Structure 1
Amino acid sequence: MATGKPRLGRDMVSFWKSIVFLTTPVILCPLPIYYASSENSKIAACAYAVIIMAVYWTTEVLPLAVTALLPIVLFPMLGVQSSKDVCINYLNDSNFLFVGGLMVAVAMQRWNLHKRIALRTILTVGVEPRWLMLGLMSVTAFLSMWISNTATAAMMVPIAQATMTQLLKDRGLGEKEEDRRQKKILPLDEKTELLSFKSSKSEQSQELPLENIAMEKSDHDDKDDEDLLADQVRLSAEQADKKAKGLLLCICYAANIGGMATLIGTTPNILVAQTVKTLFPKSPGIGFATWFSFGFPTMVVTLLLAWLWLQWQFLDYSCVPSCISQRGCRGRCQRNQNAAGYEAVRRQYAELGPFSFAEMVVLGHFILLVLLWFFRDMTFVKLENGQAAGWAYVFVRGYVTDSSAVVVISLALFIWPSRLPNFLCCRGRGDLHPSEPAPPILDWPTVEQTLPWDVIILLGGGFALADGVKVSGLSAWLGQSFRGLDGFPPVVIVILITVMIAFTTEFSSNTSTAAIFLPILGTLARGVCVHPYYLLVPATIACSFAFMLPVATPPNAIVFSYGRIKVVDMAKSGFVLNLVCLLVLNVAINTYGIPIYGMSQFPSWTTCTANLTTAGPSVTPA
């Protein structure tokens, strides 16, 4: 009997997911039962479903995509919405925007265009640690703007790992410990940052400067010399390990930061666009161009500050201010094209071969897609009749969206050949092979295997949740409940929201965090009479600030899986980076964010639920 309780406790810990899954609906069931016969029955039923999904998403007792399917079951059974109305949210306009963007990303990955961009960038900046870090972060952030941050990190980490391995070998730190002890190591050279190796003590004594008495054989016996050698090896290994940690962390951080720049960069961005359409159908909505106008400069500033912070923590920061003024330091800031790491990257780039026809096709379609997104609806350019400029106005107003553009490009990739066909003028004079069509850039088996269907379902669950919150009246009820916050300055509300979301997403998926909070924040904006974008946009971007824990986001987990980084390393650097990013975000939304989204006054396309006679307070900080 004495061992029964400990065993029962261990069994309960082992089956905690099953316990949470079964007990959560039971514990919460008094909520819909109590209000079943009142006029608030739909509100209580929707709140019941939302809380269950929030618990399941946070604890991950079910796969995230499986939890996202719950509205199809819960909303019809609880009388919130019909199954037909719920299911239509799982493949709506915003979801097809995401699917089309993923198809273009699949084409880039299939023909290694993303890898060519990454390697070319590294060859441009060189392998000096500081500029290598900047190159890795820049290309990772850029790729994460268009393809998933997980795929970006999975591609970039091996490239960085191979480069670091060659750099360590170039410095003699990739060898075994017993081999290193047979060599005599000089201090780091100030110009090249490389370790100098000598095969005998006599060679050391001939080439060492007189002031470097510590390495001279005449002043030390063999034991002291070996101890000094061991200290230098240990110090050099620690420095190399520190630099390697910084180069790995910069990839996962840049992958998270880069997604905030574009509407398809990460799933919360798609969620906020659809949430605005659902809660505020009369609003102009958030398009690619308007999001990019705010997200891209915010991303650039955040990325540069992250680069400076990682330099200060993991690299020798003292060279930065003197890099231009001092001749001796300038050499360190130039590319070292003779380094083994640089040669390793050059080899990988050479393996890709010349720029292929398929890569040119994908690049051309990608550039065309970006142009179509930018010039679809240019609200900041007014024509003579007062209408906004954009090619979408050639068609029926409001019919053509960003998803129309990306699906057109995706369809073209299924038709466009991956090489020049041997037909008519494209056939060479000596080509006697029969004419046959070239395979297309994309084929459905490739897309079917590569497309992350779980993320698409997860997005649909977030859309269904937002729609249910609105239809049930839960959003209006929350708006009335938030009246008590009307006395707080809007700036303080945004700071509290972004801090709460940034630290919440460390423990849960950024998509599930956005799906839970965005419908509530849209209602909160009406309750406190501020522009809805003023709360929704920074809250969405804050979902990308997951820098502290390996479980916070897949790029963090990928980097952590290589075994070089400890949890304390990521937590220490990520906590400061969280604070820096939150500061940049709050400054951005209160400066250039106001004119970009027209947030100087309360919009006419929504209503303020508070009993105010004014148009609503300005969101401009005091």
Structure 2
Amino acid sequence: MKISQITYLKKETGLIFAPVVASVLYMLPLDMSREAQTVLAIMGFCLVFWLTEVIPLSMTALLGVSTAVVLGITSIKEAFLSFGHPVILLFIGSFLIAQAMAKHGLDKRFALNLLTRNFFVKSPFRLIAGFSVISFLLSMWVSNTATTAMLLPLVLGIVYTFKQNKIKGISNFSIYALLSVAYSASIGGATTLIGTPTNLIGAGFLKEAGYDIDFLKWFILAFPITFTVYVAFLFYIKFHIRNFHFDKNEIKKIFVEEKKKLPKISLGEKNTFFVFCLAAFFWMLPGIANLLGNKELYTFLKSHIPEAIVAVIAAVLLFLLPSKKNEGTLSIEDIKKLDWDVVLLFGGGIALGKLITKTGLADYIGQKVSSLISPELMILFIVILIITMIFLTEISSNTATVITFAPILIGILKEMNMEIFYPVFGIIIAASFAFMLPIATPPNAIIYGSRHIPISKMVKVGLFMNIIGSVIISTFIIIYMK
């Protein structure tokens, strides 16, 4: 069945089941306030719409918040206050920095400069490692989708050359080369606070719960997890392409030719690199102050130069710094290319999360779930949550899944008087680890669209990655908690 047919069936299913689910949840004889049960019905409707993507995810979030206003659950002022949340400013600013990288070709120059190194063309495994490490590193700062789309032509160029030379085993090599790009982008994106929308949304919920995580702390906690998963994936690839060989001179020639096509380093690239370094420095500075034990400087930086303000000032600089005569490094056209769907989803998602907490729905669910789980089984509960999150995001948007479950999990952990931060951090990271299906993530869809990867192969390798991801995330979260 084609992806378009699956998408159509999902939408049809969603249109039928969303009202049914909402009605059932609203009429159930539950011992909660009417407001809480109304929000439960709204969330049930939104969840079905998110899972089946009947309309854009942001429109579903806005529909949910608007319905709450119409039904008198909250005022319009309070409902839409979340659209001014610092997380939204951080996303807009960081996206514009990434946009400047792509616009001026800084990301491609970085990729080709790395791939022309002798180290990466000496063997098939090293070549794949070259592609994957670029994907892993770039996706920490640029969107996973843009990273995958940029690297795809380079991988396909290599595959085409191999086919021209009738090298045996090219089909197997092409599969793992393409998967390495997509999977590494998803893994790398979870590493930094700005790497993927789910991280920012999750950080927003943690902040509402009283946990303000800075850029450096996120990296310090996430990097050991993502790097371990990444290394496990490389070992898996190395085993499966061990019998494939090629002429390294031919491969280097391709990359050198591509590098020659690059124009001279432009002023726009220099501006972008300068602004990126400046933003990265100020994002990490509060964390460095905290690590050095300077609480006074840390408090000052967090209150006067928070991550969101750094991102906004960096974006403004890109509009001020000229790249050509009468033209900034970024222009008004770049603002139009901003992923406004995700921006609106952020605002609507955080608003819905606040409603879950405000009406007592999170506390109610927390009480019911905590009464079923003894503290001795808490570790098992967290492991099950992480596994569930990974497999659930195979069929639904990871951002929508985090929006739905993060505030509920916070409520459950509060009722159980358990550590909130690390389990919630674990499910946020897990939300990026969907590897089995083309519809799971944009990187998966992009490489599947190349028609070099059978769906059965993606499911097989993806299942392995899901299991490895579950084990590694769970292990690190348990270690962090202890």
Could you tell me the TM-score, scaled by structure 1's length? 0.72
Q: CA deviation at 1:389?
A: 3.6
Q: 1:243 aligns with which of 156, 173, 196?
A: 173
Q: Which amino acid aligns with 2:137?
A: F
CA distance in 2 between partners of 1:580 and 1:523 (Å): 28
Q: Who is 1:10 aligned against?
A: none
Matched, 1:360 2:270: yes
CA distance in 1 between partners of 2:77 and 2:439 (Å): 35
Are residues 488 and 345 of structure 1, via their aligned partners in 2, closer, same or farther at CA, if it must alter by over 3 Å? same
Q: CA deviation at 1:347?
A: 1.3
Contact kept, 8 Å, 1:263 with 1:269, in 2: the verdict is yes
Are residues 459 and 583 of structure 1, via their aligned partners in 2, closer, same or farther at CA, if it must alter by over 3 Å? same
Q: Who is 1:110 aligned against?
A: 103
CA distance in 1 between partners of 2:242 and 2:129 (Å): 12
Alignment root-mean-square deviation, CA: 2.3
Matched, 1:490 2:400: no
Contact kept, 8 Å, 2:21 with 2:44, in 1: the verdict is no
Matched, 1:401 2:306: yes
- Give the gaps of 5 or more residues in structure 2: 1-6
Q: Which amino acid aligns with 2:136?
A: A
The alignment partner of 1:376 has SS state of helix
Give per-residue Cα distances to partners, 1:589-619, cap 9 Å, x unaligned.
233xx2xxxxxxxxxxxxxxxxxxxxxxxx4
Contact kept, 8 Å, 2:189 with 2:196, in 1: the verdict is yes
Q: CA deviation at 1:30?
A: 5.2
Q: Who is 1:6 aligned against?
A: none
Q: 2:215 aligns with which of 288, 294, 306?
A: 288
Q: CA deviation at 1:22?
A: 5.0
Q: 1:28 aligns with which of 10, 13, 22?
A: 22
Matched, 1:554 2:445: no
Residues 190-589 of structure 1 mapped to structure 2, 5 A cutoff:
236=168, 239-278=169-208, 280=209, 283-316=210-243, 336=248, 338-339=249-250, 341-377=251-287, 378-383=289-294, 387-390=295-298, 393=300, 398-418=303-323, 437-448=325-336, 450-484=337-371, 485-589=373-477
Q: CA deviation at 1:65?
A: 2.1
Q: CA deviation at 1:466?
A: 0.8
Q: Which amino acid aligns with 1:245?
A: I
Contact kept, 8 Å, 1:75 with 1:83, in 2: the verdict is no
Q: 1:57 aligns with which of 50, 53, 78?
A: 50
Are residues 83 and 483 of structure 1, via their aligned partners in 2, closer, same or farther at CA, if it must alter by over 3 Å? same
Q: Which amino acid aligns with 2:23?
A: C
CA distance in 1 between partners of 2:104 and 2:77 (Å): 40
Q: Who is 1:147 aligned against?
A: 142
Give per-residue Cα distances to partners, 1:467-490, cap 9 Å, x unaligned.
111111111212211222133433
Instruction: State the identity as a percent.
Output: 27
Q: CA deviation at 1:353?
A: 2.6
CA distance in 2 between partners of 1:306 and 1:554 (Å): 19
Q: Who is 1:99 aligned against?
A: 92
Q: CA deviation at 1:304?
A: 1.2
Q: Who is 1:158 aligned against?
A: 153
Q: CA deviation at 1:64?
A: 1.7
Give per-residue Cα distances to partners, 1:222-244, cap 9 Å, x unaligned.
xxxxxxxxxxxxxx2xx111111
Q: CA deviation at 1:380?
A: 2.5
The alignment partner of 1:506 has SS state of coil
Which structure's CA Rg is the greater one?
Answer: 1
Q: Who is 1:229 aligned against?
A: none
CA distance in 1 between partners of 2:9 and 2:419 (Å): 45
CA distance in 2 between partners of 1:16 and 1:411 (Å): 41
Give per-residue Cα distances to partners, 1:302-326, cap 9 Å, x unaligned.
1111111122224439xxxxxxxxx
Q: CA deviation at 1:464?
A: 1.4
The alignment partner of 2:175 has SS state of helix
Give per-residue Cα distances to partners, 1:259-289, cap 9 Å, x unaligned.
11100111110111111122x2xx2412211
Q: CA deviation at 1:398?
A: 3.0
Could you tell me the TM-score, scaled by structure 2's length? 0.92
Contact kept, 8 Å, 2:14 with 2:53, in 1: the verdict is no
Q: Which amino acid aligns with 1:146?
A: W
Q: Who is 2:3 aligned against?
A: none
Higher helix share: 2
Q: Who is 1:217 aligned against?
A: none
Q: 1:83 aligns with which of 76, 83, 90?
A: 76
The alignment partner of 1:418 has SS state of strand
CA distance in 2 between partners of 1:253 and 1:455 (Å): 21
Give per-residue Cα distances to partners, 1:398-440, cap 9 Å, x unaligned.
3542101111111111101115xxxxxxxxxxxxxxxxx5421
Give per-residue Cα distances to partners, 1:7-57, cap 9 Å, x unaligned.
xxxxxx988735642553255325445779x87011101101111111111
The alignment partner of 2:303 has SS state of coil
Q: Which amino acid aligns with 1:398?
A: S
CA distance in 2 between partners of 1:95 and 1:82 (Å): 21
Q: Which amino acid aligns with 1:134?
A: A
Contact kept, 8 Å, 2:17 with 2:48, in 1: the verdict is no
Are residues 487 and 447 of structure 1, via their aligned partners in 2, closer, same or farther at CA, if it must alter by over 3 Å? same
CA distance in 2 between partners of 1:105 and 1:533 (Å): 29
Q: Which amino acid aligns with 1:40?
A: S
Matched, 1:66 2:80: no
